[in-house]
Structures are given as structure tokens and as C-alpha cells.
Amino acid sequence: MLERLFQLNAHNTNVRTEILAGVTTFLTMAYILFVNPSILGETGMDKGAVFVASCLAAAFGSVVMGLIANYPIALAPGMGLNAFFTYTVVLGMGHTWQVALGAVFLSACLFFLLSIFKIREWIINSIPLELRSAIAAGIGLFLALIALQNAGIVAANPATMVGLGNLGSPAALLAILGFFLIIGLEALRVTGAVLISILVVTTLSILLGVSQFGGVVSMPPSLAPTFLQLDIAGALDVSLISVIFAFLFVDLFDNSGTLIAVAKKAGLMRKDGHLPKMGRALIADSTAALGGSLLGTSTTTSYIESAAGVSAGGRTGLTSIVVAVLFLFALFFAPLAGSVPAFATAPALLFVAVLMASGMAEIEWSDITVAAPVVVTALAMPLTYSIATGIAFGFITWVAAKTLAGRFRELNGMLVALAIFCVIKLALF
């Protein structure tokens, strides 16, 4: 049965290797089970329900990817997208988390339609690679600011807006220790470095009396507080159009980049650069995002951590199925997730920020019409506390710079239309 479903022999792999790869991928991305409830919980969502929704969304998405596309790629609620959900849409714009879930649902519907009608390639090709790298880097800087705030390393300052926090506090010291631990373990290529750091910092925090221990294992909490609680009608408000498109663009770019990177590492990409079953993979991703919004979590997307499982030999969807089973098993560890303080997950956010900012190395800095929009995009996100605003500034600056430099021919209709839409949005809403 497994051979028929996943074509193990054709991919030069076996069940044992695929199981090992699945375990490896799960260990590298399991930190999301602690981070996601911590971030979404700030909106007022029930953390226990978010934990269950995160487990189920990751399991559902990974199963769909494994069965439909037969790729060794696991899915879970995306980093950056959860921060946008909480800090921009809910806390920044003042919308309820139910409306934010409605926006996630609508963006997933658009993503699904783009995948079905194969419009994805046109949209992605319309956005310059440098601008896509800037968006990823900007999200990374945004996550870094949130991480430093959660750790107490950065604090509000009436004179300068931000300033240095109390580095002598237990939270700050433990967060710094956790970040250094991740760096050391990653340098030594230890599997699950981020997860190990979170557990170590949480354990030290409990032993020192800084935080409380809630237990390890129990029956899963109720999903009822978030299940089917999305407000689709509220998300149709005109002021949320840019939010829906921001969810869509970030997921589209992030997912496409992850698919290409992991598939290339797994040897699944053809010599001409074409990725077989790309459409199926995108359909799986958009379906997972739809399911996640119904369960009660922010956008579910493909995880670059899947590359760890590929390095361990994963080549088929069986790897993803193994990850799904482990996420279902994790449902019984809700008390442990509830015991993790925000400063224990802060190092994970900061580490993800480091990874996302690395895309800036691909920028052609000698071209000012490229460098200026990139810097504006990346800086606008943390400084305005809004990913959507950063994306809007990026589109506008790119079009303005190319036009004023007499290089209008380097633009395309899609990019110009997006820039005009962003100007109207910023001016009116």
C-alpha cells in the first residue's frame, strides 16, 4: 500500500528512511506548538484552543501535502504570518481575532483560485526577486523586534520610542541564554536546536521560580473557543482588502520559495528548473490554510524546516505523513505548552529573524533603484509595526524609483497597479 501511494522505490527510499526523515522534520519545527499559542494568545484567543488548532492544522496540512503532491514537505501555522495576524490586524488595526480569521480564510480562498487557474506564476513573476527578498527580510526584522520586546531586552522609551530594557531581569538573561544556545546547537548541526532551547529555558525558569509548571501530559484542551469562530462578513470590510492581500502575498512568496528550495535539495526538480506537481503542492497549501482558519489559527504554510528531513533522506509524502502523526501525538502535551513563558519562545523568534534576513545578501546594492525600495520595505515593517504597510511602501518606492530614473520599461502592469492600489489604501484608510 505504501509503495502504491508514495512510490518509494522510484524515489530510491524506504519506509525506515522516511520515518526517520519525518521525525527529524518534526523536531526542527515543533517549536511552533509553543510559539503560536504565545503569539495568538495576545489577541484574546484561548491558548489551549490555539494549541489544539495548531496541532490539527499542521497534521491536516502535512497529510494533504503528502497525499496530493507526494512531497516530503510539512506544514504548520507560519511564522511572520502569525505575528501579522496578532500585532498588525488585531492589536494594530483594532479588529477582532474572529475578523482576522475571516481574512485568513478569504486569502486562502484566493490562493486556492490562483493555484487552480495557474495565475500564480504570473503574479510571482510580476514581483521582482529583490522585492520578495526585502519582504522576507522585513518580516524577519519585525519578528526580531517582537522577540526583543517579549524578552524585555527592548522597552518603550518616551524620548526615543524604543530603548534598552532591564538586562538584569531573569527573563532577559534566560532569553539571551536561549538564543546563544540555539546558535551553538545550530552551528554543531544538532537536530531540534530551537525546540531544545525552548525546553531548556522553560525548565530553568521553572526551577528558578520565574514561571509556573503546568504539567506535561493531559487530554487535549477543548477546540470549541476557536473552532468555526471566524467572521467572514466582518473581513469583507473595505479597510481589510490590503490585509487579505498581504496574507495572500506573504503566503504565496513564502510557500513558493520553500517548495523550490526543499524540492531542489531533495532532487525533485527537473534540470530545466521546472518543479513537477507544483500546482498540486500549492493546492495542498491553500487547502491547509482554509482548514487552519476554520480550526482557529493563522495561515498554515509550508515549512523550510522540511529541508532537515530531506537531508535525513526523506523523498516522498510518507515523510509528511509521519510529521502529521507526530503533531497529532503532540495534542496530549498541552500542559507543557502552557508552561512555556514568552521569554522562552523569544529566542526562537529571533533565530527565525536571522534566517529570514539572510535574503538581503542577494540584493544588487550598487543599483540605487533596487537598494532604496529594499531598505524602505525592510525597515517600514518593524518601524510601523505592520507587515502590510511595509509591503505597500515597497511597491510604491519601487515603481517611483524606476519611473523617476527613466527605467519605466523595467516595470510591469501588475506591479504598477499594486503600487497605485497601495497609494489609494494609505491615503484613504
Cα 1 to the center of its chain, rounded Å: 33
pLDDT at 273 over 60: no
DSSP for 326-379, written as a single string: HHHHGGGGHHHHHT--HHHHHHHHHHHHHHHHGGGGGS-TT-HHHHHHHHHHHH
Best mean pLDDT range from 39-48, 349-358, 377-386: 39-48
User: How high is the pLDDT of residue 174?
Assistant: 95
Nearest Cα neighbor of 235 from 20, 364, 90, 58 is 90
Summary mean pLDDT of the chain:
85
Q: What is the 3-state secondary structure (H, E, C) of 297-335?
A: CCCEEECCCHHHHHHCCCCCHHHHHHHHHHHHHHHHHHH
User: How high is the pLDDT of residue 34?
Assistant: 86
* Cell numbers for 318: 510518507
User: How confident is the model over 386-402, as a mean pLDDT?
Assistant: 88
The confidence band for 403, taking pLDDT boundaries of 50, 70 and 90, is: very high
User: How high is the pLDDT of residue 314?
Assistant: 80
The radius of gyration of the chain's CA atoms, rounded to the nearest angstrom, is 21
pTM of the predicted model as reported, rounded to 2 decimal places? 0.78
Best mean pLDDT range from 142-146, 191-195, 238-242, 395-399: 395-399
* Cell numbers for 161: 520610542
Give the C-alpha distances (Å, rounded to integers) separating 38 from 170, 227, 315. 19, 18, 33
Instruction: Identify whether the C-beta of residue 324 lies closer than 8 Å to the C-beta of residue 59.
Output: yes
What does the domain layout of the chain look like in residue ranges?
2-213+221-428
User: How high is the pLDDT of residue 327?
Assistant: 93
User: How high is the pLDDT of residue 104?
Assistant: 92
Return the minimum-mean-pLDDT range out of 98-102, 176-180, 348-352.
348-352
* Cell numbers for 85: 495576524
pLDDT at 401 over 60: yes
Nearest Cα neighbor of 214 from 197, 226, 224, 202 is 202
User: How confident is the model over 7-36, as a mean pLDDT?
Assistant: 83
Name all contacts of 118-125 with Cβ < 8 Å and 24+ positions apart: 118/279, 120/252, 120/256, 120/282, 122/414, 123/252, 123/414, 124/252, 124/253, 124/256
The confidence band for 69, taking pLDDT boundaries of 50, 70 and 90, is: confident
User: How confident is the model over 146-154, as a mean pLDDT?
Assistant: 88
- DSSP 8-state class, residue 269: S
Cα 208 to the center of its chain, rounded Å: 32
User: How confident is the model over 241-248, as a mean pLDDT?
Assistant: 83
User: How confident is the model over 333-357, as a mean pLDDT?
Assistant: 84
pLDDT at 309 over 90: no
Q: In this structure, what are the phi and psi dihedrals at residue 73, rounded to the nearest 5 degrees?
A: -120, 125
The confidence band for 270, taking pLDDT boundaries of 50, 70 and 90, is: low
User: How high is the pLDDT of residue 379?
Assistant: 93
The confidence band for 207, taking pLDDT boundaries of 50, 70 and 90, is: very high
User: How high is the pLDDT of residue 1?
Assistant: 75
Nearest Cα neighbor of 398 from 408, 389, 388, 386 is 408
pLDDT at 245 over 90: no
Q: How many CA atoms lie within 13 A of 258 on its CB side?
A: 27
Q: How far apart are CA 286 and CA 293, in angstroms?
A: 11
Give the C-alpha distances (Å, rounded to integers) separating 194 from 12, 30, 108, 202, 216. 30, 9, 28, 12, 19
The predicted-structure confidence for 170-188, as pLDDT tens digits, reads as follows 999 999 999 999 999 989 9
- DSSP 8-state class, residue 65: I
Selected residue with higher pLDDT from 270 and 391: 391
pLDDT at 370 over 70: yes
* Cell numbers for 184: 551553538
The confidence band for 51, taking pLDDT boundaries of 50, 70 and 90, is: very high
In the chain, what's the furthest Cα-to-Cα distance? 66
Query: What residue spans of 94-156 are helical by DSSP H?
Result: 97-116, 120-126, 129-151
Q: Find where cell 546594492 sits.
A: 365
pLDDT at 10 over 80: no
- DSSP 8-state class, residue 78: P
User: How confident is the model over 356-361, as a mean pLDDT?
Assistant: 80
Crossing angle for the helix pair 342-357 and 129-151, to the nearest 10 degrees: 160
Three-class secondary structure of residue 164 per DSSP: strand
